[in-house]
Amino acid sequence: MENHSIVWVGMDTDAKKNQIAVYRNGDTEPTVEFEAGMDAKGIAKLIERMKREVGEVRCVYEAGPCGYQLYRKLRKAQIHCDVIAPSMTPQRPGDRVKTNRRDARNLGRLYRAGELTVIGVPDETQEALRDLTRAREDVREDLTRRQHRLNQFLARQGYHYQDGDKWTQKHWAWIRKIHFQDPNASTVLEESIRAVEQSQEQLKTYDAKIEENAQKPEYARKVKRYQTLRGVQTVTAMTIVAEVWDMRRYGKAPQFMGATGLVSSEHSTGERERRGKITKTGNAHLRRVLVEAAWHYRHRASAGPTIQKRRKGQPEAVISIAERADQRLNRKFRRMVDRYNKKPVIAAVAVARELAGFIWAIGQIQD
């Protein structure tokens, strides 16, 4: 279909309203601009108005807190809609004015020019699974913060635990022996303990649900294959499945690495090449679990009984990839730390980037 027969629609959405800019016939300025509500009535009116347009209608908006309900309703009404990555939207360096109207205009113009990065929209089942793994991540962060608050409170009162690792049964027994004469201090201690215990119970609930989902036929094969890699256990594997779903949509390993935000930024000109910190423009949830898993490769490259059990019964191609990862990633970690004197945290990020490549390779194997 020729470009002049396409109607390009840029939409800037928030919780209450949708600012819309419509470009027709290659116009440099929007032909029509209007607002529509984000409730069911407003979206119905938007669909009705788009269906009155002459030619193919293509809508676009940025991924954000409003989710994908607008996308799904437009698609159900047979109106083409794309969702794009906000972090990849081109920005003019001198543009310091941001309004909903200007954003809708920019989206429509850039969409028509092919300058936007379209993301894969999950179906409702995939989105629910992703919400589950992300909720578990939120609870884990809450637990860490609450543990820190309790430790800091006790430290201010002169209590410092020095008999081993914290949050073990021995540590909890030590905490429960602490009593304060002041009722206010006692209340703070009791409520801080209760907050930590509440987060721990929530975490157990989410872990059990994730483990239950990992046994389902539609997830089990992928999960078990990813678990052949060291550092990749059920929660990590399910996070990869929920965030990526089908690894085959990444044609090459560097594309998946880039999607995690683990690749180095670069500012090169002429013959000078300068690389900086990682871009962090990809999926933060994937990046976190990959870096956590990468720390396991600082240890000697040998498969213990646990990892051997996880690899049992898996295809030879999968096991071969996992064994190559053992050797290569351990060498990389030790070389960066021991030979080049890099900080372990920097080495872990570099290893996580290459670990993403091995995960991609496993995801390409078909039965």
Q: Which pLDDT tens digit goes with each residue over 226-277?
A: 999 999 999 999 999 999 988 988 999 999 999 999 988 767 666 777 777 8
The ranges of the chain with pLDDT < 70 are: 1-4, 266, 268-270, 367
Crossing angle for the helix pair 284-294 and 344-363, to the nearest 10 degrees: 110
Residue-level pLDDT at 80 = 96
Give kind and range of the element (H or E) at residue 9.
Answer: strand 6-13
Q: Is 13 left (phi over 0), alpha (psi -120 to 50) or beta?
A: beta
Domain extents in the chain = 3-113, 124-214, 218-363
Residue-level pLDDT at 161 = 95
DSSP H stretches of helix in 297-340: 305-311, 316-334
Domain 3-113 class in CATH: alpha beta
Number of neighbours of residue 5 by Cβ within 10 angstroms: 11
Residue-level pLDDT at 233 = 96
Q: What's the predicted TM-score (pTM) here?
A: 0.86
**Contact in structure between 143 and 192 (CB atoms under 8 Å):** no
Q: How does DSSP assign 25-53, residue by residue?
A: TT-SS-SEEEEEESSHHHHHHHHHHHHTS
Sheet with 17-23: strands ordered across: 32-37, 17-23, 6-13, 56-62, 80-84
Percentage of the chain beyond pLDDT 70 is 97
**Contact in structure between 101 and 21 (CB atoms under 8 Å):** yes
Cα 225 from Cα 288, distance rounded (Å): 20
